[in-house]
Amino acid sequence: MDVAELTALAHQLGQDGFQARFPHLFLVLTDDKETGSAQFSTQVVSRREVVRKSSGGGALRVLPLVKAPGNPYSDRISIGRARNCDVVIRDPSVSKLHAHIRREPNGAWVVIDLDSHNGTAVSSVPILPSRAEPLRPGEYITFGGVTARVVDAGQLYALLMQQ
């Protein structure tokens, strides 16, 4: 679903209906450019380049943090550059299988970097590979050179109403 469809749905359902329809988190990205086709090897990026890329004012892109149909491991959402990930980020700085996000039994969300080439950071703080780190709505998460804001349906609704 693209941003225009989400915006129309938000207007149609209202805030309570929108939140009830989407119990999961979203990644909100601001695209400065089209990343094009993915490459086989992961490109190395510097932290300076990540900051420069994330400060742009391009088009809004919303990625739901949900399982893709037929993907294994129902307890986690895979994120990476490969087509078989649940959430695909087509950027050469993102590893083919970069990270997992999962919901804990207590309802909290966590992110786990899978020893990716360029790493993962939450609120600009790099996280250690293979270690579950808390992830809260409103925080920024960086996969390689791609930074996104993690939002719940209420926060996404507010963003869409500002469009």
- CB-neighbour burial class of residue 131 (10 A; exposed 0-12, middle 13-18, buried 19+): exposed
Structure token pair of residue 153? 């349906």
pTM for this model (two decimals): 0.83
pLDDT confidence tier of residue 59, bands split at 50, 70 and 90: confident
Worst-scoring range by mean pLDDT, 29-33, 72-76, 82-86?
A: 29-33
pLDDT at 38 over 50: no
